[in-house]
Structures are given as structure tokens and as C-alpha cells.
Chains A and B, each alone.
Chain A
Amino acid sequence: MAEEKSQASSSKMLTLKASDGVLFEVELNIAKEMKTVQAYIDDCEDIETIPIPNVLGKHLAIVIEYIKKTNEEYDAEFEKQWNMDDLQLLLLAANYLNISGLQECLCKAIAKRIENKSPEYVRKVFNIENDHSPEEEAKLRKEYKWAFEGVDKD
């Protein structure tokens, strides 16, 4: 059973399987950028297909593309292509796969999109239910009055 496997250094390929069954063949050094995958490889040396149960194929494709291309210019343009839903799902994926560069890029992008918006806007975007009573809310607005000044139009 223990066949000698020839270890080609950087051209070794790995298969990642997304939650919807889509398969991606990636080079080892690309896969290693995902620290979650790296840890998995460290544990199970012989594995060739690694299941990624938390990420859809379409998002895994985007993540892999990012790892291959990332540089300052690419990062600046990267986040502009995605809507808010995708950004959040990509962030969850980046966090799960433990890719710090991508996580940073996405956090920055989300922050930029919500930073000077009203709480109503942010609630709508993230589907947050407002469970404050009107009295609580009025009290908050009073206490944090400077925070609610000069907000962008929604």
C-alpha cells in the first residue's frame, strides 16, 4: 500500500471539492494560502481531494482566483465587482479557509460600503432586526448624539 510517491515540488496538484460538488484542481502552493487547507494537508498527508463543505463552487472559484492574482492593483479593483451579499459570503469563506489577505480586503470593502450610512440602511443591507423599543432607541440617539450627525443620504 505504501507506494513511493514522487514529490514534485511546486507542480503538485490538489483537488478541492466545494459544497455543491464542483471540483477545483489547484497547485499546492496556491492551496497552502488557505491555512485551513494547509492544516488539513498537514494532518492527512496522502489526501488528494479535500472537501470544502462550507463554500459554494462559485465562491471558491473567486477565492482561488484572488489568491493567484493578488497584488495592490488587483485588490483595489477586486471588491468593486461584488454585491453586498457576495461580499459577505466571500468573507465567511475567507474566514473559514483562513486566508488573511482576502479577509482583510473584504473587511475593508464592507466597511467602506457601510461606514457613513444610517442604522436603517445598515439594518436593511444585513437583514438585522431592530429589537430596540422606541424609548430605548431615543435614549441611544441622545447618548450618542454626535455619532448620528452628518450621516450620508441612504
Chain B
Amino acid sequence: MQKTNLLESGSIMKRSKSKKTALASQNVYDCVATGHEDRLGDMPDCILHHILSFMETRHAIRTCGLSKRWRYIWTSIPCLYFNSKSFTRLVDFKKFVLWVLSHRDNSHVKVLIYYRFGVDYATDQYLFNKVIEYAALHGVQEIRINLRAKTSGCPPIEIPLPLFTCQSLKRLELKDCHPTNISSPFGCKSLDTLHLEHFSMFPTAADFSNPFASLSELFGFTTLTALHLNNFALCYTGMECLDPFAKCFNLKILQLSEMSFKSDLSPKDFVISAPKLSNLSLICNRFRCKIVVASPKLLNFTYLYSTPCAFFEYSLPSLDGLIIDIHELPEPLEKSHRNKREETLHGLINMLRGHHKAEAVKLSFCTVAVTCGAAALEKPECLSYSKWKSLDFGVGSTYKIFINKLDHITAYFRNCSQHVDFEIVNI
């Protein structure tokens, strides 16, 4: 019978496949239970590395002094975690990083975390290059960078080329980074997950038609399965309809938060049409344009807003099984915002209008409290919910307070539905 070797997957035991024998064991557990053994020391290096990879490298290195066995364990931790905040002086941080790179053994680096918070917002290009080069040479799979840079008024930064040519890189997170090398000829070829926060793009003068184009070029939109963009100020001139994710053939998860278009430079329609997208989150964006949700495979849509958006439109072949989750930030709206409330209601109704072909719709939202107070409910004949069999309301914590207003909404929908068996299920 073949022996199954579970060592690679982290298990410390080998076991044989016979029906008669129990799972064979080294029975580390027995000696551990007596409390006399060096428990952590008895664990194999791979587990120790796993533990140490959750600490800053500076702390992990301290284990070298624990005992002889621990002397060199730190040299092959598959994670490098450099945080300049742990150092009193940046020059010490630099010396430390370079020292670690030269004293580490040659094993793989799975994760690189590099947080350098410069005093004057300048970054250290030399150090940045060294770290990225080292990681790329050692098969890095995940890189997280925060340079705390500003959008203007600080020296230019270049993202080192090895980051783009690294074949092993799967996950990338860049925060507070405003690089100047947007016109690099290379782009990432195998990125799976991309997370950009407060990252500015400098589209070439000729290409304002799609502010996402330079991102796409740099990071390879077609390979991504998850994309998170946060805190971008976009410029857009040109055609009316912007559909930046149409070529994201593998994208399953998209999150846009705190995005806005600069002053008048915004499109008329912002279309989200990634062909395989199943999870969409729009959180606290300041879009004034119409958002068209046109992703055919969408299953979950989360919408958290602080200022109401003008309109939503759905352009989807089927809404079966789509869950929409709408939340407003828990701040009371003033009376002067009444018009905006009605706008929100229109947006809401438009959303629901798109559901008329589904059989069961689940809506979970806290805005029921806000929107059903508005007088401008549309006449039922404008809408046809003929196929709706049930409408699930999962309301948030405001449900109990506004229970009388919930009746307005339920009555409204009951009028709309032409299905005799239509039922409204409250959660």
C-alpha cells in the first residue's frame, strides 16, 4: 500500500493506508501532554516559520537567541515584513533591511511587506529597488507596499521593474503610492489579486478616454480575479460611456470605494460589465453619473453610500439569485436633503425594476427607513413584478424603529405583484 506523505501539506505525520491500522502517529502529543518537553521546539520548522511569518522581521530575528536550535531558523522564514515605524531613525531601518537581505539564506520568500513612512514623504528609491529585486529573485507571491507618499510636492518614485517582470507574483497591494513610471513597457503577467489604495494614475495626455487604461496596462487586467480600488480621483474626458472592466475576462470580485471623478470630468454612464463578475461592492463613492450594472453573472451586489447616487440601471439577462445589500452610513439626513432622498428612492425603484424577471428576490437594506418616508412612490402600473413569488426583506437594525413605515413599502409591492400567491417574508 502506498504511504501517503502529508509532510508537504504541513502535517507532521506519515501514515499508511491500511484499514486495520489506525492513523499512525509519532505521538508527539503524548510527550507534549506531560508538560516537560519543549513544545514549540518540538514542532517542525515549517510550523515555526508559519508562526514567525506573522511578525515583523525585526521581532522574528530575536528568536536566534533562544537556543542553539533556534539560531538560524529566522533565516528561512518565507516572509519579509519591514515596517519603518518600528525604527527610531530611517537610516537604521535602511541598514536593517540591507543586513537582513544579505544574511538571509536563499530560500523562497512567499510574502513581502514593505512599509516605509518617510518623514518628508520622500522615499528611498535605492532601498525600494533592492527589496523588490530580492523578493522577485526569490519567487515572491504576494507583495504589500505602503510608501505614504503624496500626490504632488514630493520627489518622484519609480516602481522597480522586477515587480512587473516577476512571474511568481500573484497578489499585489499598493497604498499611498504615486509612481512616475506609468509608461513602462512591461506589465504584470500573472496577477490574481490587485489592491490599489490612493494610487494615482497619470494617463498620457492623449488617453483621457479611459483613466483605467494605464492601470490595465501596468497590472494586466485580463488575469485578475479580484480587484479593489480605493480613493482615486479620476479624470475623464471624451465619450459618454465608460466601461473599464469589459476586458477583465477573469474578474470575479470587484470593489470600488471612495472613488470620484474630478469636477466636470465625469462620464455620463459608468458601466460595470465584467463577464464573470459575481461580487460587486460600491462603497462610499462620489459618483454623480449613472451607474449601469451589466455584469451577467452577478450574484452579490453590496452598496454602501454616504451621499446618494443618481441612478442605477440594470442591464442583466437574469436576476435569479441576485442578492442586493444596500446600506446607508448611519448618519441622520437633514430635512434639506429631501430631494436627495427622493433621488435615492428613484435609484432604488430602478434597481427593483430590473428584478421583474426573477422569481425570488432577496433585498436586505437599512434604507427602507429613509426612502419609504418619501411621498414620490411611483404608480404601480409602471412596474411589473409579475413573476415575483416572494420578496424577502432582511432589514437592518433600524427595522424595529420604523416598523410602521415598512408597511408602506410592503403594501406597495403587494400592489405591484400580479401573482396571486405573492408573499412577503420578513426576517
CB-based contact B52/A111 at 8 Å = yes
List 9 A-B pairs, minimum CB-CB distance, nearest first: A111-B54, A126-B40, A51-B22, A43-B17, A115-B55, A147-B61, A107-B51, A54-B29, A107-B50
Contact call A132/B50, Cβ cutoff below 8 A: no
Of A2-10, A68-76, A86-94, the stretch lying at the interface with chain B is A86-94
Min CB–CB distance B167 → chain A (angstroms): 25
Could you say which residues of chain B place their CB within 8 Å of the CB of A112? 54
A148 to B66: give the CA distance in the assembly, Å. 12
A87-122, CB < 8 A from B = 88-89, 91-92, 95-98, 100, 103-104, 107-108, 110-112, 115-116, 119, 122
Within B1-55, the residues touching A (CB, 8 Å) are: 4, 6, 9-13, 15, 17, 19, 22-23, 25, 27-29, 32-33, 35-41, 43, 47, 50-55
On whether the beta carbons of A95 and B65 are closer than 8 Å, the reply is no
Q: How far apart sit A147 and B29, CA to CA, in the bound complex (Å)? A: 33
Assembled-state Cα–Cα distance A25/B252 (Å) = 36
Assembly CA distance A145 to B300 (angstroms): 52
User: Are B63 and A36 in contact (CB-based, < 8 A)?
Assistant: no
Is B66 within 8 A of A103, CB to CB? no
**A31 CB within 8 Å of chain B:** no
The reply to whether A92 and B32 form a contact with Cβ atoms under 8 Å apart is yes
Contact assessment for B65 and A140 in the assembled complex, using a CB-CB cutoff below 8 Å: yes
Q: Give the Cβ gap from A71 to chain B, nearest Cβ, in Å.
A: 16
| Alpha-carbon distance between A127 and B29 when the two chains are bound, in angstroms | 16
The CA of A151 and the CA of B56, in the complex, are separated in Å by: 13
Residues in A with CB closer than 8 Å to B63 are 119, 122
Query: What are 10 contact pairs spanning A and B, CB under 8 A?
Result: A47-B19, A51-B22, A56-B33, A88-B39, A92-B12, A107-B53, A111-B55, A128-B40, A148-B65, A150-B86
Query: Which residues of chain B come closer than 8 Å to A82, judged between CB atoms?
Result: none
Bound complex: CA of A98 vs CA of B80, how far in Å? 25
**Cβ A110 vs Cβ B51 within 8 A:** yes
**Contact pattern, B 52-88, Cβ under 8 Å of A = 1, otherwise 0:** 1111101101111111101000000000000000110
Which one of A54, A115, A129 lies within 8 Å of B28 (CB-CB)? A54
Q: Is there contact, CB below 8 Å, between A95 and B12?
A: yes
| A50→B22 CA distance, assembly (Å) | 8
User: Are B59 and A116 in contact, with the CB atoms below 8 A?
Assistant: yes
B39–A126 touching, CB < 8 Å: yes
CB pair B9 A98 closer than 8 Å? yes
Query: CB-CB contacts of B286-312 with A at 8 A, as 1s and 0s?
Result: 000000000000000000000000000
Known: A47-B19, A89-B32. A54 touches B25 (CB 8 A): yes
Query: Once the chains are docked, how many angstroms separate the CA of A36 from the CA of B25?
Result: 12
| Most chain B C-beta atoms within 10 Å of own C-beta, residue among A39, A85, A146 | A146
**CB < 8 Å: which of B50, B61, B65, B92 contacts A137?**
B65
Complex Cα–Cα for A40 and B4 (A): 10
Q: A95-B11, A132-B65 are in contact. Are A127 and B50 (CB under 8 A)?
A: no
Residue pair A103, B41 in contact (C-beta under 8 Å): no
Known: A128-B70, A146-B92. A98 touches B6 (CB 8 A): yes
Is B117's CB within 8 Å of the partner chain A?
no
Q: Given A107-B50, A107-B54, decide whether A53 and B23 contact each other with a Cβ distance below 8 A.
A: yes
Band of interface residues on A: 35 or more
**Do B17 and A91 touch (CB < 8 A)?**
no
Q: Given the complex, which residues of A lie within 8 Å of B29, measured CB to CB?
A: 19, 54-56, 89, 92, 96
Complex Cα spacing A51 to B50, Å = 27
Complex CA distance for A108 and B9, rounded to whole angstroms? 18
**A35, A98, A110, A130: the one within 8 Å of B67 (CB):** A130
| Chain B residues closer than 8 Å to A43, beta-carbon distance | 4, 17
B47 touches A127 (CB 8 A): no
Query: Is A12 engaged at the interface, CB distance under 8 Å to the other chain?
Result: no
Residue of A nearest to B61 (CB): A147
Q: Which residue of B lies closest to A143 (CB)?
A: B64
Residue pair A128, B67 in contact (C-beta under 8 Å): yes
Give chain A nearest CB distance to B83 CB in angstroms. 12
Q: Tell me, rounded to whole Å, the shortest Cβ–Cβ distance linking A101 to chain B.
A: 12
CB of B98 to closest CB in A, whole Å: 12
Q: Is the CB of A92 within 8 A of B6?
A: no
A131 in contact (CB, < 8 A):
yes
Q: B47 and A95: CB pair below 8 A?
A: yes
Bound CA span A100–B6, Å: 13
B12 touches A96 (CB 8 A): yes
- CB contact under 8 A between A91 and B43, given known A98-B6, A98-B10, A128-B70: yes
How far is A47 from B87 in the complex, measured between Cα atoms in Å? 57
Q: B157 → chain A, closest Cβ, in Å?
A: 26
With A36-B23, A127-B38, A144-B65 given, is the CB distance from A100 to B10 under 8 Å? yes
Does B96 touch A at the CB level, under 8 Å? yes
